[in-house]
Amino acid sequence: MIDDTVNDGAPRNETADDDLPTMSEDRAHATFLQQLPLLVALVLLWMMLWGSVSVLTILTGIVVALLVTRAFYLPPVELSRRFNPFWAIAFLTRFFGELFVASFQVAALAFAPKGRSRSAIVRVQLRTRADIIMTLTSITISLVPGSLVIEVDRRHAVLYVHVLGASSADDVEEARHHTLSIERLIIAAIGSKAEWELVR
């Protein structure tokens, strides 16, 4: 049986919430340029659903996209406008490498003697509060077999990660360090200069 334990005894990040990089709070609504990628994606989805590329589907797609973005408002996601190809390749290389290795590790755990396999829920305090960084970090961690983000505290930039095979305090600390290293690679690839200075 898997033993799920929550690790709440980890030291909290000393950085105050107000010091974490975040979206400026005086901007209550997204600008047109910020919403443009979402609008384009919705129009393309509309054309795919209809299986047609015509003036009518494009125009109706634009109308539907505008209605959706107004009726179901989402907070604007501010991109840093910074992209580092070297760190992006480093991130992808590590991700696919971990994907390969973790598949065998999870398979080994499946054949472990009954009662020997344990798991833990690890609280990870991220170093940035940027939505795009938190989202990409959560997706990356969840895609690698053996780990899954089960809850996100967006306000305090905290992830709760379920980790298989964590049977000791060292395993828990390793899982926390792993999550922070993934966050660091993503920040190095697409994060702002302020975020990069915070984690480098």
Convert the pLDDT of each residue in 70-123 to its tens digit: 887 666 666 667 788 999 999 999 999 999 999 888 888 877 776 566 789 999
Residue 173, amino acid: E
| Closest C-alpha to 61, from 42, 48, 38 | 42
143-195: per-residue pLDDT in tens?
Answer: 998 899 999 998 899 999 999 888 888 989 999 999 999 999 999 998 888 88
Maximum CA pair distance of the chain? Answer: 62
17, 129 Cβ separation under 8 angstroms? yes
Q: What is the pLDDT of residue 181?
A: 94
Q: How far apart are CA 116 and CA 84, in angstroms?
A: 43
Q: Which two three-digit tokens encode residue 167?
A: 């049977």
pTM of the entire structure? 0.66
Residue 53, amino acid: V
In the chain, where the domains are located: 1-77, 85-199
* Sign of the CA dihedral with 127 first, then 130, 134, and 136 last: negative
For the chain, helix (H) and strand (E) counts, in that order, are: 6, 4
Q: Which two three-digit tokens encode residue 9?
A: 């005894």
